[in-house]
Structure 1
Amino acid sequence: MASTRLTAESRRQSLDALAATTEPQHELDVLVIGGGVTGAGIALDAATRGLSTAIVEGQDWASGTSSRSSKLVHGGLRYLQMLDFHLVQEALTERDLLLKKLAPHLVRPVPFLYPLEHRIWERAYVGTGIALYDTLASLAPGKRALPLHRHLTRAQIARKFPDLAHDAAIGAVQYWDASVDDARLVTSIVRTATSYGAHAASRTQVVELTKGPTGAVNGAVLVDLESGREITVRARAVINATGVWTEDTEALAGDEGGLKVLASKGIHIVVPRERIKGRVGLILQTEKSVLFVIPWSRYWVIGTTDTPWEQELTHPVATSADIDYVLEHANAVLAKPLTRDDVIGTWAGLRPLLQPGTKEGTGSAKVSREHTVASPTTGLTVIAGGKLTTYRVMAKDAVDFAIGQRASALPSITDDIPLTGAVGLAAVRRQARTWAQRYGWTHAMVDHLLHRYGSNLREIVELCLGDPGLAQPLEAAPAYLRAEIAYAAEHEGALHLEDVMLHRTRLNYEVENRGLGAVEEIAGIIAPILGWDDATKAAEIASYTARAEAEAAAEQEPDDAAAEVARLAAEDIAPLQDLRT
């Protein structure tokens, strides 16, 4: 197996390999467009089938929907209300697979309370639904990954969630799902795909889909947004996994067919852990969406909303009205109401909602309630919809569809491919005790490191051995080691300061002022690794500062249109090309 390291150099080598595909002997089997969880999963699926594979992403890995989710790995209780038992079972099977085999370091169990307001009928109704949820999870192979649900009295609720308002519930049902750092999951999948031979290049935009003499899509023209270099790639199959950008990517083929996708915005707020006394999460029904109150590390994540988004797709933001909506519905059940002053961060993401049917001219499609795979033109496969939990099933469906009859001889095996950091996890958990003593790491720090890196914590320790100063926490963000910042550039493909702040860490929203207090130190760590001179380092800091200030300004605006104007006041560090002109 090749290395799992993503670096600026490995990216350059991947681009050189893609440039060579115009020679027939180097033509790719599969080119994946889109570096979110679906595209990453497709790249891993294709590479582990023995197909020559490449994945490109116009921004940073997971920079779209896949870093802006509710960060849950779950079956979807709401689908039980729709009687879609197959879909729920599929998602629960994938949840348990991630917990037990594929990514046990990244995916962690979380207990949730479903508060009850009525003593008899609601307890029976909700209890039956969650019992069915558990039953469907039990159909997964092997030992159960999570405990069974249980009914709680008001007194038991008070012990588990003291800050739930006394009149908010007469009882509750506790059940289990799981949480994940979505952006880290994507990066881990991409790294695992490269270890099986896939080429990977972020900040690489597809500007054209090319066609052969028969009119079939046979590749793409790419632009390296870091250098301006243009590259033509040849591939037997091109797979479009660009989420809310699906239709924009389809249009590059110059055909009318394809899938139709609308964007729906969901926002989350972050409040300090000490602000709410509770040891479990909450799930609440609102008139517009499901609201989660999720315990996460040193804080709580509360969301989400579900509103149409009609602005540009790259920079969705939370408005003042969005934040107030989430606060209002959370406060309806909290004994100590939250205020705007309690909110230390926010994020907004866009769900790619499939519209009924496909555009005229689209070929046969495989459709589920959650995702659809189709071919608007020969050589091009499009997948859209879906959810983070079932990314592996979506990837399997997309590759099966793209390679056609070859799929029977090359079936998917990703249900048996652990992600980087999963292999050797039990041994590294034991070794971590020695490292903690050596470097003075607290129990909380060790838990943080194992959750983020799993068995790859050995690579963090190697950095610390080379430079003991890296074993120390950041001064302005002590939840992270300096070594983690270096690791982001040396192993995880970070090319810019914002990549570290938004996707390799969560400093953009988990500390006050979007982590601006730590940017000088962070930039100082990654500058020599990425070869920045003083002017480049200053430009990176200025760019992230402008972004943070623009996001803060957008949060004060009343609606999406005004918030978009505020957010777009900050220019991107590596802007996408506008293909509409």
Structure 2
Amino acid sequence: MAEISQAGSRSAGELGPGQRDGAWERLGRDHFDVVVIGGGVVGAGIALDAATRGLEVALVEARDLASGTSSRSSKMFHGGLRYLEQLDFGLVREALRERELSLKTLAPHLVKPLRFLYPLTHRVWERPYVASGLVLYDTMGGAKSVPGQHHLTRSAALRLAPGVRRDALIGGVTYYDTVVDDARHTMTVARTAAHYGAVVRTSTQVVGFLREADRVVGVKVRDSEDGRATQVRGHVVINATGVWTDEIQALSRQRGRFHVRASKGVHIVVPRDRIASDTALILRTPTSVLFVIPWGPGHWIIGTTDTDWNLDLAHPAATKADIAYLLERVNQVLVTPLTHEDIQGVYAGLRPLLAGESDETSKLSREHAVARICPGLVAIAGGKYTTYRVMAYDAVDAAAPDIPQRVSPSITEKVPLLGADGYFALLNQAPQLAQTYGVHPYRIEHLLDRYGSLVTDVLDLAAGKPELLQPITESPTYLRVEAVYAATAEGALHLDDILARRTRISIEYSHRGVACAEEVGRLVAPVLGWDDQRVAREVATYNARVDAEIRSQTQPDDISADALRAAAPEPRPEILEPVPTDG
């Protein structure tokens, strides 16, 4: 039977060094009902869905949880307002239902309501046109637990967003969506799957498939840290690797039922005081929309681009042209234009789009597809972050014919993620928690919005070590204990995992994590068993990654930017590139 942690225990869903060793043993020993390839939000969601149906589950990820697309999104759980124009009503309705579930039940500590201003620029026709779209949006579920649309005059819109130029709008409409830290959300989904018995192991790369006659019966895996290899057997393997779908499909030597194209989306991060606004903005562009989203207490995220990408899937590179495009678009509406000097962070991600007839990635489908490729192998691709849970239960349903036992229905709509239960009560108790642990109440609120009711697990790591409750010196948004917790319970194995995903230091500070890399390395060294030499190597590898990214962002095109970014060393020394095809 699956090894299930008891609710409320310190070990609930922990992904730490001890768990990692045990997971490797179980991968090579146990026989699983479902083996999931890919530690993005869809793979993590599949593991959670299957585990809560009572199935034996293993999830393997070549790098880190959310290290690909799932940490580089626009940071929203949104219904997809623009898909109404494409008459994709089903996708919008489904996404809004999922948004509501996460906002109120599944992850209220991670998914937060966010007001948007849509500036109107055309007289007579645009206001009724936008209003009719938002009526549909609200009716489909967009205004279920947040306010519906509200129409504003030009003066009222400018009072809400005084940083917007007066001549950039004739009025405005506000509506609500949500914001989420995608990397933390994905990691929490994976931890919740582990809590319900799934074996979750990162730095575990699939290098081949096991077969018996025409049936896939498992995978060959290799440890990306030390090169060890083993075999993982299961009734069914689910390929949930996003933009790597075609590569894993080729590895299986089976003809795929669909193909995935990668679309690059670039975002920039600027200080909050550079744009005077009390609301997020959604701006129409010739081909899509541009979001200006408040991020934490001190930043805006501006994005995104939408261009084809055919180069390194692991490390997509932003170019000078991508950044110039975003600045040009947002500056068309700002009183005080942004410059390159205002940018504190840049990130590029890839959307896994189902290839269609259109050559324009902005018109490729955001619907998902599931296919049973052959006995014992299922693939899922496409979709959007918001609908990960729907994608997960569709994938497990598709895998059910390969599982000998009866497969129970999906129940994940009733399963809160770790940290959700008790979150609202702890919000009310924030002053008492602050007094108990000797930290400022605003720190408690910040921690609650990152860990929910697991906040006490985090703070308890500082027992007898009051220095851990001090801020990280050059990144004071975060406490030192958060870095320690990332290595102890959240599966972080490298500085990059901590600075780029468990925290967002790599995009929130102009030094991009370089100034605090050594401090963080020394904080986690006792947990991860690093000596001074290993700390120095981790710092050097992280600094080289940041340097490569910054230099790539000065290049004029994808090819030259990719060459610079791809030259940076990998933190996982035994990762194989490209994925081998020895079957």
TM-score range, shorter chain: over 0.9
**Helix, strand or coil: the match of 2:461?**
helix
> Are the counterparts in 1 of residues 518 and 536 from structure 2 also a CA contact under 8 Å?
no
Alpha-carbon separation, structure 1, partners of 2:145 and 2:257 = 39
Aligned position for 1:17: 26
Q: Tell me by how many angstroms 1:450 deviates.
A: 1.1
For residues 367 and 376 of structure 2, what CA distance do their matches in structure 1 show? 23
Given that 1:247 and 1:258 are in contact with CA atoms closer than 8 Å, whether structure 2 keeps it comes out as no
Give 1:219 shift.
0.2
Find the partner of 1:120 among 109, 115, 124.
124
* Paired AA for residue 295 in structure 1: P
Q: Does 1:376 align with 2:385?
A: no
Structure 2 counterparts to residues 436-475 of structure 1, below 5 A: 436-438=434-436, 441-475=439-473
Superposition pairs of residues 9-408 of structure 1, within 5 angstroms = 9-21=18-30, 27-137=31-141, 144-212=144-212, 214-297=213-296, 298-356=298-356, 370-404=367-401
**Cα offsets for 1:560-580 (capped at 9, x unmatched):** 100011112211011521335
Q: What do the CA deviations read for 1:494-552 (whole angstroms, capped 9, x no partner)? A: 00111101110001111012121111111110011111011101000000000010101
The answer on whether the counterparts of 1:259 and 1:382 sit within 8 Å (CA) in structure 2 is no
Q: CA RMSD in A?
A: 1.7
Distance 2:200 2:407 in 1: 25
CA contact (8 A) 1:288 1:305 kept: no
**Aligned match for 2:544, one of 546, 549, 552:** 546
From 507, 530, 533, the counterpart of 1:532:
530
**For 1:525 and 1:580, how far apart are their aligned partners in 2?**
36
Distance 2:370 2:377 in 1: 11
Q: Which runs of 4+ in 1 moved over 3 A?
A: 405-409, 437-444
Contact 1:425 1:455 (C-alpha < 8 Å) held by counterparts: yes
Deviation at 1:404, TM superposition (A): 2.8
- Code of the residue aligned with 2:57 in structure 1: it is T
Q: Does the aligned pair in 2 maintain the 1:289–1:304 contact within 8 Å?
A: no
- Partner SS, residue 135 of structure 1: helix
Moved more, 97-106 or 437-446: 437-446
Distance 1:252 1:565 in 2: 25
Larger CA deviation: 563-572 vs 298-307: 563-572
- Counterpart-to-counterpart distance in 2, 1:124 and 1:475: 52
Describe the shift of the 1:476–1:103 C-alpha distance in structure 2 as closer, same or farther (beyond 3 A): same
Question: Post-superposition shift, 1:440?
Answer: 5.2
Greater mean alpha carbon deviation, residues 45-54 or residues 309-318: 309-318
* Equivalent pair of 2:36/2:47 in contact (CA under 8 Å): yes
**5+ long unaligned stretches in structure 2:** 6-11, 358-364
Percent identity over paired residues: 52
TM-score where L is the length of structure 1: 0.94
User: What is the CA deviation profile of residues 228-257 of structure 1, one whole-angstrom value per residue up to 9, with x for unaligned ones?
Assistant: 110111100100000000011011111233
The letter of the residue matching 1:273 is: R
Say which is worse superposed, 192-201 or 406-415, in terms of deviation.
406-415
Q: TM-score if structure 2 supplies the norm length?
A: 0.94
Structure 1: distance between partners of 2:496 and 2:88:
40
For residues 383-409 of structure 1, the C-alpha deviation after alignment (integer angstroms, 9 at most, x for no partner) is 000111000000000000001397985
**Counterpart in 1 of 2:420?**
422
Paired residues of 2:430 and 2:441 also in contact (CA < 8 A): no
Q: Describe the SS at the equivalent of 2:312.
A: coil
Question: Aligned residue pairs: how many?
Answer: 562
Q: Distance in 2 between matches of 1:540 and 1:288?
A: 41
In structure 1, stretches of 5+ residues that fail to align are: 22-26, 358-367
Judge which range, 428-437 or 35-44, deviates more. 428-437
One-letter identity of the residue aligned with 1:451: D
